Amino acid sequence: MNISFRQLRAFVTVARMGSFTLAAESLFLTQSALSGLIKELEQNWGVTLFERTTRRLVLTKIGQELYPQAQEILDKLDLLNHQAQNHRAIYQGRVRVACSQQLAASLLPELIAEFRHQSPEIQIDIIDCSVEKVIDHVDSDEADWGIGPERAIRSNITNDKLFSLPFHAVFPKEHPLANYKNLCWTDLQDENLITLKGPFSEILAEQLSHTNRQLLDSASKVNYMSTALSMVAAGLGITVCLPYSKQQIQHYDLTMLKITQPIVIRHFYIFQRKSAVLSEAAQHFKNFVLNRLSHDDYFA
């Protein structure tokens, strides 16, 4: 006995529609091909499934008994196919993520490596750029979504809170500040501070008091945190950054200490176009990142 999926589909469709003509159109078959499938199924089972007259087509008694079971089998097969297709859509594909150069160098590689163990068929493309370009890449659909610090949001962009981190001071391990237990912003006033140009320092200045803000006014400014860290490693001063750069700080053999008076927090978000419908792969990676980075102990 060799019963095929096509035979069961033909039987259920004819029974449901009560017409070979309508069933053939629904299945995109000729009536002769459909009749052939029903005949093969009847021969396999050794029963007659339909009573055919010039006026009507009805199920036989055994046909009535077999119809709901055949429908149940088809429903289960359809569910299996749907699950298999979803699995393939989730675990295959390409995801484009925009983020700042510093995040791309320090945070994302570890996350992607961990994610790849779970979903090796998904390709993650990093669009590393300046912080100010992250939303631009999302808005232009060059990226499925992006990660970046708080920024003014355009009307067509959504932002999901990802994580929040306090500012730390970074300096050589032998620096006198390394002996401090509680570090204040005022403790940095006599240091040669190296910080970043643009919104990084502008937003930070807005969060500080007038007295503490003055140290940013006199700071040396560069475009990238990697440059600032290299300068600190060369003994040219100290910098302030966020602890997601911990690996790079260790690479330069530097140390960092949380600034507690006052604690200044920077918030990071996932940015996405409101009209965007993410692929299964893009949504899967987004959920993974949200789950991993929303835990308070991730940056501990």
Q: Does residue 253 come out as left (phi exceeding 0), alpha (psi in the -120 to 50 range) or beta? A: left
- pLDDT value at position 234? 96
Helices first, then strands: H and E counts in the chain: 12, 13
- Residues spanned by CATH 3.40.190.10 within the chain? 92-164+267-299, 168-263
Q: Give the angle subtended at the CA of 224 by the CAs of 218 and 226, to the nearest 5°.
A: 110
CB-side exposure of 3: number of CA atoms within 13 Å?
14
Counting every residue written for the chain, the total comes to 300
3-state secondary structure 215-228: HHHCCEEECCHHHH
- pLDDT value at position 91? 58
CATH H-level superfamily of 168-263: Periplasmic binding protein-like II (3.40.190.10)
Q: What CATH class is the domain 92-164+267-299?
A: alpha beta
Its pTM stands at 0.68
- pLDDT value at position 294? 79
DSSP conformation class of 167 = -
CA separation for the pair 183, 189 (Å, rounded): 12
Q: Evaluate whether 123 touches 95 at the Cβ level (below 8 Å).
A: yes
Record: fold of 5-90: Arc Repressor Mutant, subunit A (1.10.10)
- pLDDT value at position 284? 92
Q: Pairing between strand 93-100 and 122-129? A: parallel
Residue indicated by tokens 């594909």: 93
CA separation for the pair 113, 120 (Å, rounded): 9
- Block means of pLDDT (10 residues each) for the chain, 300 residues, are 86 90 90 91 92 82 92 88 66 86 91 93 92 93 94 90 94 95 92 91 84 82 92 96 92 95 92 91 94 79
Sheet of 168-172: strands edge to edge? 183-184, 254-261, 168-172, 238-241, 193-196, 220-222
- pLDDT value at position 136? 94
